[in-house]
Chains A and B, each alone.
Chain A
Amino acid sequence: MARFTPDNLELAHEIISRYPRKKSAVIPLLHLGQEQDGYVTNEAMEHIAELTEVTAAEVIGTCTFYEMFKTHPVGKYVINVCTNISCQLNGGEELLEHLEETLDIRSGGTTADGMFTIEDYECLAACTEAPCMQVNYRYFHRISNDEVDGVLSDIRSGKLADTIPEHGVLQRVRQTIPAGKLAGIAPPETVVDAPVWMARNEPILAARAAAKAAEEAAAANKATEATEANEKGDA
């Protein structure tokens, strides 16, 4: 477990090629590593460091800063229960306790079968829908204890497999950028010409500029006419 598989390595190179600087690809590659192993392994971080030409210390620094990157094994389904104020008032803590009892683990722990990890979370930004929780970052709003039991059994039975992928999978349709739409892959300081996207916009900008110039010219004409009229009047 570990370094990128050959397929993922190819993908990693493609991801790196999207950015002007290799270092910019660190976060997408951390996601890739987490998708591969369910969490970000030290070996993956070392591999990312090699690929992006930074040190492993810089990669782990970035990785540990973000809550969504796990550096230790977690369950296939990570359940985040909000216990911040709005959810707390609406039963968030009871929800967490219920989960702890049902799954027989403490917050932060993982079930023995490796299915579930529960986390006590700060605000999930769904205060109007309290109490709320996420399973692998998919929301469940205004959820009751009974409904939680239903969600757990649905996950176990595979009923929710379509909506909730396993931990680490961000999306199942991978983004690809068509060759013609690349933003240009040179470091900004080395780019002499305008960026590619700017070239694409140039006709539009030119048209706008022309329209504006025409408008201004028309306005100026009017003004001149008016002045001339005034002058005539004065005379």
Chain B
Amino acid sequence: MTDTQPETEASVTIVVDGQEVAARPGELLIDACERAGTYIPRFCYHERMKPVGMCRMCLVEVDTGRGMGLQPSCMIPVAEGMTVDTQSEITKKAQDGILEFLLINHPLDCPVCDKGGECPLQDQTMAYGPGESRFVEEKRHYEKPIPISDTVFLDRERCILCDRCTRFAKEVAGDPLIHFQGRGNQTEVNTFPDEPFSSYFSGNTVQICPVGALTAKPYRFKARPWDLEETESTSVADAVGSRITVQSSRNQVLRYMGVDSDPVNWGWLSDKERFSFEAFNSDERITEPMARSGGDLEPVSWGAAIAAVGDALKNTDPSRLGIIGGARLTNESQFAFTKLAKGVLGTDNVDAQLGDGLPAELVLGLPRATIDQACAPGGTIILMGPDPKETLGALFLRLKHAAVEDGATIIEVTPHRTGLGQYAAHHLHPLPGETAALAAALVAETPALDTAGVSADAITAARAAIAGDGPVTVILGRASVAESAAVIADAALSLTSIPGVRFLSALSRSNVHGALDMGMSPGLLPGRSTLASGTANWPNTPSTAGMSTAQMLQAAADGSLDTILLLGADPISDFPDTDLAERALANATVIAVDLFETASTDHADAILPAAAPQEADGSFTNLEGRVTKISRKVTPPGTARPDWIIAAELAMAAGGDLGIESLDDVWAQIAAVSPAHAGIDTASLDANQRDGVVVEGTLDLPAASGVSPAVADAYAYRLVVSRRMYDAGTILANSPSSAHLASGTALHLHPVDFDALGLDRGAEVTVSSATGSVSLPVEPSGDVPRGVAAVPANQGDIVVGTLIAVGDVATNVRVERGDS
């Protein structure tokens, strides 16, 4: 009949309001009309979720060959020759009627509703609805508002039962903790009694709610939409680099909203990304430079502070000077500080990672994947890193979608089950310290043997998945700071033998990937180049690689490093070995450039206040290497200023000149030394606001270090210390709505191991390693394999860092009853 096959057909032709329109096969009518410029009103339909046809607002007259009839356009895919009339009298009457029905029980308390002014129900009632209601009866009344989670309020009266939040909770987040209850007129959305909607993604339901039924506690009654100004920016809460809009009123940022960036976050944000901005508004911010005089930190002028710090830097021998941190900074500021260290001061002791990351050469040397490549339909994803649900929320949603909707196969290679576990096809839990052995077994040709506590059968099954047709991506990071980075590095190098394999870095700390690209690591220069291969022609560039954070702290503790410059880093909280960090900072002259006073700045001799991301322009590099813009929305508090200005002034005070007076200067200099960043500047970032520009280019891979697996100790557990979404980190601790969400430190053991202790849930146990011992409550957990003791990192109550000795392949601990 036809000479084209339906599969290869590029488009189908439909008629929308008399105009012929080309639509994509399989596309929903509502989308096809919208692309053709005809907006069909809707409440329940959301382009990132499956349609349900709950609200009936998108009814239009459609002729599919059986005559015109009203159909919900979100539920019918386009078909050749379909005729749609979105403007007919019948369509208009249907829309008018649906709105009158929806408003029957809607309280119309718009003046006090946070959604008023940006409410789809308001807008569509104005555009399509009746002017008056014929409903004069009493409306429903519920208790209002009820908190359904720590950050979300529910106002059931306002709910129009569109199913968006409940679908989001189930389909997108995978936490179906809210559900329709009751039936008919009494249907409501609610949680189970006393079981809150404690999802890491609960804030998204507020953003997608088409009425004011779900509102966010941090934004409650803070402002109305018409006095908000907004600018698009990038989230710095983790390394995903989700696109956001920053909305402010009267020079105060009031909320972040997710922006649908197709290659990155699809409009979703984790609650940490959404709500942790509160910290930047905190009264605890450092607002003026401070210097220690007579034991106390006293405010000083910028001139005096810069001069004093510049002197201190200039007068320290470059080999006895170190710079720790920088992951919080924008790319531009990172470049400025790299140039200050490696071009002016002449030291290579610069490390943006705090001993909890991976070797920079490895991250930059491995073939990189984008999120889209990792989530490709039918692909295989090897998760060898931290729990993405805990550390990289928006990435977790993409990975979950890939597994559930797009047929991706997930292989978990983690010390214990992660939030992605229930969507994973294979669960391999190697003993900490033996991950490299398991990785080698996964790619070996010989028949599989039991390895690293994982059965041969499981390895054989995972091998089959890896050998499948789809692309293989490794999500690579440190699942536990109690396991050496060398183990993960060796494991990653083994996996490079998989044909076509790509790696997506799961380092989670803010702009750490920008820091690596800008050379904030020993031995590196900007643009993914080394001291040897780099083209930076700076006056004082060191020729030999400097020290890492661990080495610097060790050197400071030993007295062979005098001055430490902390760039938004808090080693005492974040470096795995707390003892070492304490001793190092107590021993050295410490200069901090930070937003807040932290445990580490208590040791500082001078503090320079920096501007937060929403207070300075710049750019961000996410875990794919994607550079996107960070935009300034408000002014910094007090006299705080952008980090790159601080770097430039310090360079002047230290007798050098960075040659940087604007961000354009920075990009001009980056372009000169980094071929990888070719074509990126403020103009190109402005032009690619949403999707950004992906940096390409790799280093030579380092050789495997060949660490020997951890020594087995029949009486000991292997310690796993992993990051959670909520911890006692500086930013979260200063955001009122997130500060109390840290779970608290508890030891998690396999139920059998737990029973062997003969203790009750929550009883105190003493955990001791070669370096220290702490006492903490113990809980059974089915997610933890036998022989493993899992503890969350940095929860603020109990310091488990004393158990860890940096450099040890794994940490063996003994667990004893608290009273012994």
Whether A and B touch (Cβ < 8 Å) is answered with yes
Residues of the B chain whose Cβ atoms lie less than 8 Å from the Cβ of A227: none
**Segment from B176-184, B346-354, B804-812 that makes contact with A:** B176-184
Which of A57, A64, A65, A66 interacts with B177 by CB under 8 Å? A57
Are the C-beta atoms of A60 and B183 separated by less than 8 Å? Answer: no
Residues of the B chain whose Cβ atoms lie less than 8 Å from the Cβ of A64: 181-183
Residues of the B chain whose Cβ atoms lie less than 8 Å from the Cβ of A61: 179-181
CA distance A218 to B177 in the complex (A): 64
Asked whether any CB of chain B lies closer than 8 Å to the CB of A45, the reply is yes
Q: How many residues of B contact A (CB 8 A)?
A: 14
Asked whether any CB of chain A lies closer than 8 Å to the CB of B193, the reply is yes
Shortest beta-carbon distance from A74 to chain B in Å: 17
Are the C-beta atoms of A57 and B176 separated by less than 8 Å? Answer: yes
Which of B175, B180, B182, B195 interacts with A56 by CB under 8 Å? B195
Shortest beta-carbon distance from B142 to chain A in Å: 14
Residues of the A chain whose Cβ atoms lie less than 8 Å from the Cβ of B195: 55-57
CA distance A55 to B192 in the complex (A): 9
Are the C-beta atoms of B182 and A65 separated by less than 8 Å? Answer: yes
Residues of the A chain whose Cβ atoms lie less than 8 Å from the Cβ of B179: 55, 57-58, 60-61
Q: How many residues of A contact B (CB 8 A)?
A: 15
Are the C-beta atoms of B182 and A57 separated by less than 8 Å? Answer: no
Main secondary structure of the interface of A (DSSP, over half): helix
Asked whether any CB of chain A lies closer than 8 Å to the CB of B191, the reply is yes
Are the C-beta atoms of B183 and A57 separated by less than 8 Å? Answer: no
Interface string of A81-104 (1 = CB under 8 A from B): 000000000000000000000000
Shortest beta-carbon distance from B788 to chain A in Å: 24
Asked whether any CB of chain B lies closer than 8 Å to the CB of A196, the reply is no
CA distance A45 to B182 in the complex (A): 15
What total of A-B pairs shows CB separation below 8 Å? 40
Residues of the A chain whose Cβ atoms lie less than 8 Å from the Cβ of B176: 54-55, 57-58
Residues of the A chain whose Cβ atoms lie less than 8 Å from the Cβ of B191: 57
Which of A45, A66, A67 interacts with B192 by CB under 8 Å? A45
Are the C-beta atoms of A42 and B193 separated by less than 8 Å? Answer: yes
CA distance A78 to B180 in the complex (A): 26
CA distance A188 to B190 in the complex (A): 32
Q: Which of B159-189 contact A (CB under 8 A)?
A: 175-183
CA distance A226 to B183 in the complex (A): 66
Nearest chain A residue, comparing its CB with the CB of B179: A61
Interface string of A45-75 (1 = CB under 8 A from B): 1100000001111111100111100000000
Are the C-beta atoms of A65 and B183 separated by less than 8 Å? Answer: yes
Nearest chain B residue, comparing its CB with the CB of A67: B183
CA distance A18 to B179 in the complex (A): 26
Residues of the A chain whose Cβ atoms lie less than 8 Å from the Cβ of B180: 61, 65
Residues of the B chain whose Cβ atoms lie less than 8 Å from the Cβ of A60: 179, 181, 192-193
Nearest chain B residue, comparing its CB with the CB of A55: B176
CA distance A230 to B300 in the complex (A): 118
Among B178, B179, B182, B195, residue most surrounded by chain A Cβ atoms (within 10 Å): B179
CA distance A222 to B771 in the complex (A): 96
CA distance A59 to B180 in the complex (A): 10
Shortest beta-carbon distance from A67 to chain B in Å: 8
CA distance A56 to B190 in the complex (A): 11
Are the C-beta atoms of A55 and B182 separated by less than 8 Å? Answer: no
CA distance A54 to B190 in the complex (A): 16
Residues of the B chain whose Cβ atoms lie less than 8 Å from the Cβ of A58: 176, 179
Shortest beta-carbon distance from B73 to chain A in Å: 28
Q: Which of B124-182 contact A (CB under 8 A)?
A: 175-182
Shortest beta-carbon distance from A29 to chain B in Å: 16
Shortest beta-carbon distance from A121 to chain B in Å: 14
CA distance A58 to B174 in the complex (A): 12
CA distance A59 to B179 in the complex (A): 9
Interface string of B186-209 (1 = CB under 8 A from A): 000011110100000000000000
Q: Which of A196-220 contact B (CB under 8 A)?
A: none
Are the C-beta atoms of B181 and A55 separated by less than 8 Å? Answer: no
Shortest beta-carbon distance from B172 to chain A in Å: 15
CA distance A7 to B181 in the complex (A): 29
CA distance A55 to B697 in the complex (A): 46
Shortest beta-carbon distance from B564 to chain A in Å: 48
Are the C-beta atoms of B183 and A56 separated by less than 8 Å? Answer: no
Nearest chain A residue, comparing its CB with the CB of B170: A58
Q: Which of B672-718 contact A (CB under 8 A)?
A: none
CA distance A234 to B460 in the complex (A): 73
Among B178, B181, B192, residue most surrounded by chain A Cβ atoms (within 10 Å): B192
CA distance A150 to B327 in the complex (A): 82
Residues of the B chain whose Cβ atoms lie less than 8 Å from the Cβ of A56: 192, 195
Q: Which of A8-59 contact B (CB under 8 A)?
A: 42, 45-46, 54-59
Nearest chain A residue, comparing its CB with the CB of B194: A42
Shortest beta-carbon distance from B152 to chain A in Å: 14
Residues of the A chain whose Cβ atoms lie less than 8 Å from the Cβ of B182: 64-65
Shortest beta-carbon distance from A202 to chain B in Å: 32
Residues of the A chain whose Cβ atoms lie less than 8 Å from the Cβ of B181: 60-61, 64-65
CA distance A46 to B195 in the complex (A): 10
Report if A55-B177 is in contact (Cβ < 8 Å); known contacts: A42-B193, A45-B192, A60-B192. Answer: yes
Among B177, B178, B181, B190, residue most surrounded by chain A Cβ atoms (within 10 Å): B181
Shortest beta-carbon distance from A222 to chain B in Å: 36
CA distance A42 to B175 in the complex (A): 19
Among A46, A57, A58, residue most surrounded by chain B Cβ atoms (within 10 Å): A57
Residues of the A chain whose Cβ atoms lie less than 8 Å from the Cβ of B192: 42, 45-46, 55-57, 59-60
CA distance A44 to B176 in the complex (A): 19
Nearest chain B residue, comparing its CB with the CB of A60: B192
Shortest beta-carbon distance from A78 to chain B in Å: 18
Residues of the B chain whose Cβ atoms lie less than 8 Å from the Cβ of A59: 192
Shortest beta-carbon distance from B111 to chain A in Å: 32
Shortest beta-carbon distance from A77 to chain B in Å: 24
Residues of the A chain whose Cβ atoms lie less than 8 Å from the Cβ of B183: 64-67
CA distance A56 to B198 in the complex (A): 13
Nearest chain A residue, comparing its CB with the CB of B175: A55
CA distance A36 to B182 in the complex (A): 22
CA distance A56 to B179 in the complex (A): 9
Shortest beta-carbon distance from A183 to chain B in Å: 26
Shortest beta-carbon distance from B652 to chain A in Å: 59
Interface string of B280-306 (1 = CB under 8 A from A): 000000000000000000000000000
Nearest chain B residue, comparing its CB with the CB of A65: B183
Shortest beta-carbon distance from B141 to chain A in Å: 18
CA distance A46 to B194 in the complex (A): 11
CA distance A39 to B193 in the complex (A): 16
Shortest beta-carbon distance from B147 to chain A in Å: 15
CA distance A42 to B181 in the complex (A): 14
Residues of the B chain whose Cβ atoms lie less than 8 Å from the Cβ of A67: 183
Shortest beta-carbon distance from A70 to chain B in Å: 13
CA distance A192 to B176 in the complex (A): 30
CA distance A42 to B190 in the complex (A): 14
Nearest chain A residue, comparing its CB with the CB of B188: A64
Residues of the A chain whose Cβ atoms lie less than 8 Å from the Cβ of B193: 42, 60
Residues of the A chain whose Cβ atoms lie less than 8 Å from the Cβ of B175: 55
Residues of the B chain whose Cβ atoms lie less than 8 Å from the Cβ of A46: 192
CA distance A58 to B166 in the complex (A): 10
Residues of the A chain whose Cβ atoms lie less than 8 Å from the Cβ of B178: 57
Shortest beta-carbon distance from A130 to chain B in Å: 23
Q: Can you show 22 pairs from A to B with CB atoms below 8 A apart? A: A42-B192, A55-B192, A55-B195, A56-B192, A56-B195, A57-B178, A57-B179, A57-B190, A57-B191, A58-B176, A60-B179, A60-B193, A61-B179, A61-B180, A61-B181, A64-B181, A64-B182, A64-B183, A65-B182, A65-B183, A66-B183, A67-B183
Binding site for A on B (CB under 8 A): 175-183, 190-193, 195
8 tightest CB-CB pairs across the interface, nearest first? A61-B179, A56-B192, A57-B179, A64-B181, A57-B192, A64-B182, A65-B183, A57-B177
Known interface pairs A42-B193, A61-B180, A64-B182; 19 further A-B residue pairs with C-beta atoms within 8 A, sorted by A's residue number: A42-B192, A54-B176, A55-B175, A55-B179, A55-B192, A56-B192, A57-B177, A57-B178, A57-B179, A57-B191, A58-B179, A59-B192, A60-B179, A60-B181, A61-B179, A65-B180, A65-B181, A65-B182, A65-B183
Binding site for B on A (CB under 8 A): 42, 45-46, 54-61, 64-67
